[in-house]
Amino acid sequence: MSILSLDRDSYVFGDKFDFVLQLKAVYPARIPVRLSIAEIEPADPSRSYKWRPMLLWMQMSDAENREVGIRLLELYGSPDSPGSEIELKVGEWVEMRAAERGWSGKILRRIPDPPQM
């Protein structure tokens, strides 16, 4: 994961900040894309299903090297729920834009896959 941009170069704890992340596959991977586990649960509550979470964190430090970890995104996917995951091949990437204050980021858009070579 790479942080492509932050909206400024310094923050006070509790500030809202906007960020852009790039997650690039170094091996084939399925990436969850739903913000809530409720989005992937089967309509029939008696039906079992498999799901997987993906947590993205960022560590920030101040001028005195005090560090804080901030959970940026928590995404969910399931092979049993079509559209809840995307498949990335080696070298493909997804870009996520979000805003954060405290603990709740949101995915705003996905950049299309790069052309196949």
Exposed (0-12), middle (13-18) or buried (19+): which is 85, by Cβ within 10 Å?
buried
Q: Judge whether 113 lies within some domain.
A: no
Summarised one tens digit per residue, pLDDT across range 47-93 is 999 999 998 877 766 677 767 677 778 899 999 999 999 999 999 98
Q: Judge whether 116 lies within some domain.
A: no
Does 17 or 42 have the greater pLDDT score?
42
What pTM was estimated for this model as a whole? 0.67
Of 28, 1, 21, the C-alpha closest to 86 is 28
Number of domains in the chain: 1
Q: Judge whether 109 lies within some domain.
A: no
Which residues sit opposite 78 in a β-bridge? none
Residue ranges making up the domain that contains 23: 2-41+51-100
Tell me the average pLDDT of the chain. 78
Q: Judge whether 34 lies within some domain.
A: yes
Q: Judge whether 46 lies within some domain.
A: no
Give the percent of the chain with pLDDT over 90.
31
How confident is the model at residue 62, as a pLDDT? 66
- Radius of gyration for the chain, computed over Cα atoms and rounded to the nearest angstrom: 16
